[in-house]
Amino acid sequence: MSYHCFELINTIMFDMKRPDFPEYMLHHFLTFTLILFSYVVNYLPVGAAVMILHDVTDLTTTIFKLFCDVAPFKIQLVFYAIMTSTWVYFRLWFFPVHVIGRIFEESYNWQGKTFNFNLIGMLTTFLFFLFLVHIFWFYLMIKGAIKRCKNKDQISLKTKANETD
C-alpha cells in the first residue's frame, strides 16, 4: 500500500509531464484505494490479491524495461513474451475471474446476513475500472511491440542499404 501511495504522490508532484500521466495516475489511485478500502471494510483478501497480482506482473514488466534498450533484440523478445504472458494470465484472466468473480460468489453467500451491499458495489466498481486500465495497458504493450518491430525492420533495412553503398 505504501508503494502505491508513494507512486501516487510522486506522480502528482514530479511526473505530470509523462505522456501516460492520466492512466498512470488512475492506476495508482485505484490500486491504493482498493487496498485501503479492503483494509477499512475488513475485506483483506481483495487487497492482498490486488497487491500480489500487481507485484508479479510489475516484476516481469520491470525486467523487460531493464533489458529493453541494452539487450539484443532476441533477448528482448524473450522478456517481452514473459511479460505479456504473465500480464495476460494474472491481470487479464486471473484478476477478473478469481478476484472480481469471487466478490459475486461471496455476495451470493451473504444472503440473509447483514452486509452493506453499497460497499460491495463500490469495491466491484473500483476493481472493474482497474481491470479496464489493465486492458488498456495491454493494448499499449501490443502497440509498442508492433512499433518496436517495425522500427527494427526499418533500422536493419537502412543498415543493409548503407552496407551495399
Has residue 46 got a pLDDT over 90? no
* 19 CA to centre of own chain: 17
Neighbours of 60 (CB within 10 A): 19
- Give me the percent of the chain exceeding a pLDDT of 90: 22
Lowest-pLDDT choice from 11-15, 33-37, 69-73, 161-165: 161-165
- In 3D space, the residue among 134, 27, 34, 144 whose CA is nearest the CA of residue 88 turns out to be 134
The C-alpha cell at 16 is 505530470
Return the higher-pLDDT residue of 76 and 102: 76
What does the pLDDT read at residue 94? Answer: 94
Has residue 25 got a pLDDT over 90? no
- In 3D space, the residue among 124, 135, 33 whose CA is nearest the CA of residue 93 turns out to be 135
Q: What is the pTM of this model?
A: 0.78
Distance, in Å, from the CA atom of 100 to the CA atom of 134, rounded to the nearest integer, reads: 14
Distance, in Å, from the CA atom of 45 to the CA atom of 13, rounded to the nearest integer, reads: 31
What does the pLDDT read at residue 99? Answer: 86
Instruction: Calculate mean pLDDT across residues 54-59.
Output: 89
What does the pLDDT read at residue 20? Answer: 82
Taking the domains of the chain in order of start, what are their residue ranges?
2-164
Q: Which DSSP category does 114 fall into?
A: -
Q: Can you tell me whether residue 165 is helix, strand or coil?
A: coil
What does the pLDDT read at residue 110? Answer: 63
The C-alpha cell at 58 is 510489475
What does the pLDDT read at residue 153? Answer: 62
